[in-house]
Chain A
Amino acid sequence: MSDATVMHGASLSSAEGRTPEARVAGAMSGFAKEIGALSAFRLESCIHCGICADACHFYIATEDPQYTPIWKVEPFKQAYKREASAFAPLVRLLGLKREVTTDQLVQWQHLLFDSCNMCGRCSLICPMGIDVAALIEQARHAMFDAGLAPKELYDKAAHQQLTGQPEVSTEPYRDQLLAIGARFKVDIPLDKPEAQIMLCVPRTDIEHYPSAVAALARVMQHLEVPCTFRSDGLVAENYGYYAGGKEWQREISLRLIDQAIACKAKMLLVPECGHAYEVLRWEAADLYGKPLPFRVLKVTEFLAEELEAGRLKLRVAAGEATTFQDPCESARKGGVIGAPRALMKAMGVDLHEMKNHGGFSFCCGGGGGVLDIERAAPLRYRTMENKLREIDDTGAKTFLTSCSDCRRTFDDAQVHFAWNKTPQSLLELVAANLLGTGTP
């Protein structure tokens, strides 16, 4: 992005020898051509009732109409109507929809990236049944093609696509992983030529929560399932997804897919990372071009399966009132809602659900890459206030989640608001309460 052009606070790349205007025009035309029947149907079905606003925490916190979820795809609807709708020639001939301008799209960067966690809550409220979040994801692709992905996300995606890591680290993650094993006295299975399960890890855990990495290794060691991390496919996060770079998302996913195939894994285990689950479980096969030759499970799902099969036994954990943050990408959008609760029940956790929980939970506020966008912080904090209130209202002393990005977002809130709760990992709680052989 050395050749990035800064316009109104947005990074508009003039790469590929094209002017920003030409890139925007190309991206919008590409969006319309590639839209597909399903997205076109979704765009056409909108009746402009505005009800989706009432599901979005950005709107609820601010009452600012621009945060209405379906409004976030307005320029894309405009492009679709002009270029690919049933009466597109008529629309162009009569000038019923104008071409999307560069300035317009630059303004929309705030709406599509800074103020959208891609959490999918808006998709649950639409009386027409429209999956608004799916449209927003597609709009992010066009923003990326227009050179309008926020710099923080673009840079991390570019770095990850090139190196496998979203940013430069003091030591390679492989070495950090082994150091975590040594520090926590747990075996880190690495680069085994064959394994039943391939593991990956959020780089957030490597950098911020090494105890969660150790917990994953400890649980797998306890279950005695042949598994391995792979040096060439370690990182669970996918900044291509956040930035809207579909091709980069594919390449980043391929690192993991290729490594899982290389070690003949029957399962790719997604750690406590919400969006990694969405990317690998629900999008990777489409980008790979065929069904994946292995299962993709989130670690909580896997452990719940092991629990049900009787291979995992857990002892009762300390009896403090506890609440649980459902990560949107794996819970609401991915269907992993019962598994974490089954684990908590097995440990006798005194669960106090938030007013909005499970599939209806509010996002932590950091999802969709928002946590990484520096300028989005004031709005993110404003949005989080409602979430923190819901957590406080449960009266819980312990606060669990199963997403490292949620955890980091709440850690940040703890500092910002001088909030009195520290988010903890459900996986770490499981690792601390293993019963039977290998119990620490």
Chain B
Amino acid sequence: MNLLDFARGPALKVAITVFCLGVTWRIVAFALLRIRFDLNRPRASVFKYLAGGMLTVGSRSWPHREFIGRTGAGEALGYSYHLGLFALVLLFTPHILFLGSLFGVTWPGLPSSLITVISVLTLTLFLAVLFRRVTSPVMRMLSNFDDYFSWFITMLVLVTGLAATAHIGAPYETLLGVHILSVDALLLWFPFGKLMHAFYIFPSRALNGALLARKGATS
């Protein structure tokens, strides 16, 4: 069994299993904690506060006018690299074919040249994000191993992917094997760290938004 076979065979199976079980456990674990129901009379109807939750999912995607001067640039940076990652994961033809083999559905991808441009841009944004994290006193203070390791492992996937596409440094099969191994590592780490925010972001906005809307509070 060569590196590529190992990476996309047993290693991938283990990684996907850990990912699925870990993510499920992270979500189920909340339900095992005490759930309190608000007994105070709501200001709004159930429909209104559910709508408030849905609105918050959208409205928190960009800062309120009152905050934009202070946070607009930082948020733009954050969203930009996320968009870059989504484009690379979902619109690169080899990825689409791989996902198609798993889920049975495929869709049109972007031209390779454009993917290369997006990769380089995303890589640059990733470095900028790290630079910001280590130079901003607030972010540096808040950051822990999870933040840096999650950055590192995502960056690893990005760099190995770029190397594999560009055929740099080793035979293609080896580079692809290393790239898939890095994806395996990311899947293994995913349930244990902050990458879980991918699953939390929309429920968190919706839930907090709905609870604020229940009070008629600003959200």
Contact = CB atoms under 8 A, between A and B. Distances in A.
Interface of A: 34-38, 40-42, 44-45, 47-51, 53-55, 59-60, 63, 65-66, 68, 70-71, 84-87, 120, 123-131, 281-286, 288-292, 295-296, 331-337, 356, 358-360
Given A37-B34, A129-B56, A334-B217, A290 B39 contact: yes
A108 to B, nearest CB: 14
A86 B35 CA distance: 16
A93 to B, nearest CB: 13
A86 B33 contact: no
B173 interface: no
Contacts of B30: 37, 40-41, 44
Contact of A128 (B40, B43, B204, B215): B204
A48 B57 CA distance: 19
Contacts of B63: 51, 125
Contacts of B74: 49, 51
Interface string B194-219: 10110011011111110110011111
B29 A85 contact: yes
A34 B35 CA distance: 10
B25 interface: yes
Nearest to B29: A86
B64 interface: yes
Nearest to B136: A50
B5 interface: no
Given A40-B33, A124-B64, A129 B38 contact: no
B170 interface: no
Given A40-B30, A51-B71, A337-B218, A123 B78 contact: no
Contacts of A125: 63-64, 67, 71
Contacts of A123: 208, 212
A346 B199 CA distance: 48
Nearest to B208: A129
A42 B60 CA distance: 15
Contacts of B34: 34-37
Nearest to B35: A37
Interface string B9-31: 00000000000000001100111
A269 to B, nearest CB: 15
Interface in B147-173: 147
Nearest to A128: B204
A123 B218 CA distance: 9
Nearest to A332: B218
A129 to B, nearest CB: 3
Contacts of A36: 33-36
Contacts of A284: 40
Given A38-B35, A44-B200, A55 B67 contact: yes
Interface string B56-76: 110011011011001100110
Nearest to B203: A41
B139 interface: yes
7 contacts: A41-B200, A45-B197, A45-B204, A60-B70, A65-B141, A120-B217, A360-B64
Q: 6 closest A-B pairs (Cβ-Cβ)? A: A359-B218, A335-B216, A129-B205, A86-B29, A50-B138, A285-B39
Contacts of A124: 64, 67, 218-219
A84 B194 contact: no
A95 B56 CA distance: 37
Nearest to A355: B66
A60 B70 CA distance: 10
A42 B215 contact: no
Contacts of B215: 282, 333-335
A295 B41 CA distance: 8
B144 interface: yes
B206 A48 contact: no
B111 interface: no
A126 B57 CA distance: 11
A48 B139 contact: yes
B217 A35 contact: no
A337 B218 CA distance: 9
Contacts of A289: 39
- The CB with the most chain B CB atoms within 10 A, among A87, A289, A335, is that of A335
Nearest to B34: A36
Contacts of A37: 30-31, 33-35
Contacts of A281: 40
Nearest to A32: B33
Given A127-B61, A285-B41, A335-B43, 7 more contacts: A36-B34, A48-B139, A49-B78, A70-B142, A292-B41, A335-B217, A336-B216
Given A48-B144, A129-B60, A65 B138 contact: yes
Contacts of B144: 48
B18 to A, nearest CB: 12
